[in-house]
Chains A and B, each alone.
Chain A
């Protein structure tokens, strides 16, 4: 390394530009392990997908270039705009995970609470359960004629509905399961975040006469904002890619569910195009559009963070 730094210095004046280039080269070695993995597993497939989105696929392989017609076709497709709107709605509902997780984290951090480990495990179990399995169980809970939820509502004389087959309720019903399954993950992050807040801040606030809620609002939340920011980025990216719950709860079977379109997300539309209709060109175009949306929303969040995230 020293030798790299010294030699260009000796040659200064003759090839001044060669100095940074030489240092760069050795740096590549160090980023190679990550770089190769990223390249092979993410960047190359992403670029390939982008290229394939300009092709038309035959049902038995083989593809031909067809320009932007996949994109034109998608933009003309009514279900694409429905799916796009639905996907954003899923993301919005998914964001409810964060306040719930924060609330639970604060409650679990109260002094003198016993069995915290058990609560943490209980909250975490839905997250580690296969989405397909929890989707199946929830589908039964939601069943309009025999589901537990409607039986329970019936006790109070409240009429239920076919929660995952009613176009008016299906998206929210699935969104709730998504929230339920994700809370545990963010809870763990927030518990760590709350623990990291120095006790002095809270003690000082208490001395100044701040009550529980004011302390939470003016001390805990601002100091937790870096964790919240991280979680909201991860959460939005994850819910924009929602698929398995939808597939299991409202689109399995012979797709005769009236809520099929009302619950369609970009990724479930991708699945339908790629595997049900065999239109892999349109499917790859959809995948690329989804990537653009994810990129855009993540960028916006990063821009907005200056306004509300406090780094200590």
Chain B
């Protein structure tokens, strides 16, 4: 994790210094001084020009990621990059998502964090605000990189105070998953782009089969998969000018679409889903329709029975057609000793080659326009194209500086309206949530 930029006259790696000329006292001292303090070392060598190729030396970059499934593709990207940049060594550092952010925050505070790392929407503004990320705007302009091939709302997601801090690498939207067998049995046509909320409600009622404990629809208390798409489809909003949108009638209407499914008994309530989540219920044929991420296709695809009967369609329209879009970005640590090398790397990852490698791996939908075909081809039985078709209608994932503090409130406050008949009216919960959220947001902008 610590960077030891040894500016040796030869190409030999730092582990094996050249044998013939004995090390001078100065060299040794300099190397020792560089050991615990990468910052000091970078300051010392900045006068010597770009760190990654000064005097033929090497830059060693750590690249932190959290998804094990994507590591092979990322390694391929690194190998491809190194063909043109043999002087930049890149080590992929895998940390599971549950500990990723704690570890990253701690290592940024204490030193020794990775040079380049994955970023998501809830965290970007906090990291940018506290100056932990390298601003990329000027470098992108110099390099003539416009990021025009990535969804623009994703590009904007990684801006803060007018500065670009991250470059999108992939994306996801939400689509409707449905069980063909259950639809066939009930004699209902499959969902398609003509469907509205009313179609879903009617179908959910017809598909509900209490004797088999089959539910027509799943309305989980899940912000990205269920709450946000429904809110946006009803012209509602979550966050605007540091204010919460949850007290808005349009927002409440979107949420009510979901809670009514539960109140009518068409969807399992939040207690049932907390015990056994809707993806498992879908896989075991107990739920006829659910809304989900591209990744949710993985488990359904692995299960042969589920694969044969699962269909995917674009989300039905409410007042309008809408979904939520989110994607990860690559960002650079502001304190890296090798800013130039890091920028070269993230710039490379903003291009077609990286998109194509990611797509081919079948593990993630790349954000570079036109590189998704390989991803679609990896699962021909599923209509994954639905996720791409919805990009023009998608609203960016809402985020502020302290996203996590108000996100953790959402599920707790709304939960009491998610337990079916007799639960707290959704309008009451939503207004309570708006109040709580506004307190956090006010503190944030103060």
Contact (Cβ within 8 A) B272 A162:
yes
Contact (Cβ within 8 A) B109 A258:
no
A165's partner among B220, B274, B402, B408 (CB-CB below 8 A) is B274
Residues of B near A227 (CB, < 8 A) are none
A254 at the interface (CB under 8 A from B): yes
B419's partner among A58, A59, A164, A258 (CB-CB below 8 A) is A258
A206 at the interface (CB under 8 A from B): no
* Contact A277-B415, Cβ < 8 Å, known A162-B274, A166-B271, A256-B270: no
A131 at the interface (CB under 8 A from B): no
Contact (Cβ within 8 A) A145 B275:
yes
* Contact A258-B271, Cβ < 8 Å, known A59-B130, A60-B109, A167-B419: yes
Residues of B near A18 (CB, < 8 A) are none
Among A250, A255, A272, chain B packs the most CB atoms within 10 A around the CB of: A255
B243 at the interface (CB under 8 A from A): no
A257's partner among B108, B132, B274, B404 (CB-CB below 8 A) is B274
A145's partner among B110, B126, B272, B404 (CB-CB below 8 A) is B272
Contact (Cβ within 8 A) A256 B419:
no
- B263 → A minimal CB distance (Å): 14
* Contact A162-B271, Cβ < 8 Å, known A59-B126, A258-B418: yes
- B431 → A minimal CB distance (Å): 14
Alpha-carbon distance A260/B405, docked complex (angstroms): 15
Contact (Cβ within 8 A) A257 B276:
no
Contact (Cβ within 8 A) B404 A277:
yes
Residues of A near B269 (CB, < 8 A) are 258
B274's partner among A161, A258, A275 (CB-CB below 8 A) is A258
* Contact A60-B105, Cβ < 8 Å, known A255-B408, A255-B411, A261-B412: yes
Alpha-carbon distance A166/B132, docked complex (angstroms): 42
B416 at the interface (CB under 8 A from A): yes
A278 at the interface (CB under 8 A from B): yes
A175 at the interface (CB under 8 A from B): no
B206 at the interface (CB under 8 A from A): no
For chain B, give the interface size range: 20 to 34
A61 at the interface (CB under 8 A from B): yes
Contact (Cβ within 8 A) A259 B271:
yes
Where chain A touches its partner, the secondary structure class is: loop
Counted as pairs of residues, one from A and one from B, with CB atoms less than 8 Å apart, the total is 93
Residues of B near A279 (CB, < 8 A) are 405
- A28 → B minimal CB distance (Å): 37
Residues of B near A308 (CB, < 8 A) are none
Alpha-carbon distance A130/B105, docked complex (angstroms): 29
Contact (Cβ within 8 A) A260 B411:
yes
Interface string of B118-133 (1 = CB under 8 A from A): 0000000010001010
Alpha-carbon distance A61/B316, docked complex (angstroms): 45
Contact (Cβ within 8 A) B275 A276:
no
- A276 → B minimal CB distance (Å): 5
B212 at the interface (CB under 8 A from A): no
Alpha-carbon distance A310/B435, docked complex (angstroms): 54
Residues of B near A162 (CB, < 8 A) are 271-272, 274-275
Residue of B nearest to A258 (CB): B415
Contact (Cβ within 8 A) A254 B411:
yes
Alpha-carbon distance A60/B129, docked complex (angstroms): 11
A143 at the interface (CB under 8 A from B): yes
Alpha-carbon distance A221/B109, docked complex (angstroms): 57
Contact (Cβ within 8 A) A60 B270:
no
Residues of B near A276 (CB, < 8 A) are 404, 408
* Contact A60-B130, Cβ < 8 Å, known A143-B276, A165-B274, A256-B274: yes
B222 at the interface (CB under 8 A from A): yes
A144 at the interface (CB under 8 A from B): yes
Contact (Cβ within 8 A) B108 A256:
no
Contact (Cβ within 8 A) B270 A257:
yes
Contact (Cβ within 8 A) A254 B130:
no
Contact (Cβ within 8 A) A58 B275:
no
- B401 → A minimal CB distance (Å): 9
Interface string of A147-160 (1 = CB under 8 A from B): 10000000000000
Alpha-carbon distance A166/B416, docked complex (angstroms): 10
- A84 → B minimal CB distance (Å): 16
Contact (Cβ within 8 A) A258 B270:
yes
Residues of A near B271 (CB, < 8 A) are 144, 161-162, 165-166, 257-259
Residues of B near A272 (CB, < 8 A) are 408
B273 at the interface (CB under 8 A from A): yes
* Contact A257-B130, Cβ < 8 Å, known A61-B109, A144-B272: no
Alpha-carbon distance A303/B264, docked complex (angstroms): 55
Alpha-carbon distance A237/B220, docked complex (angstroms): 37
Residues of A near B275 (CB, < 8 A) are 142-145, 147, 162, 164-165
Contact (Cβ within 8 A) B102 A165:
no
B272's partner among A61, A165, A278 (CB-CB below 8 A) is A165
B430 at the interface (CB under 8 A from A): no
Contact (Cβ within 8 A) A165 B405:
no
- A224 → B minimal CB distance (Å): 41
- A247 → B minimal CB distance (Å): 13
Residues of A near B130 (CB, < 8 A) are 58-60
12 cross-chain CB contacts under 8 A = A60-B130, A79-B412, A143-B275, A144-B275, A164-B274, A165-B275, A167-B419, A257-B271, A257-B415, A260-B415, A275-B102, A277-B404
Residues of chain B whose beta carbon lies under 8 Å from any beta carbon of chain A: 102, 105, 108-110, 126, 130, 132, 213, 220-222, 269-277, 402, 404-405, 408, 411-412, 415-416, 418-419
- Please name the 4 residue pairs, one residue from A and one from B, whose CB atoms are nearest each other, closest first: A162-B271, A258-B415, A165-B271, A165-B274
Given A258-B274, A259-B415, 9 extra CB contacts under 8 A: A59-B126, A144-B275, A146-B276, A162-B275, A256-B415, A258-B415, A260-B412, A276-B404, A278-B402
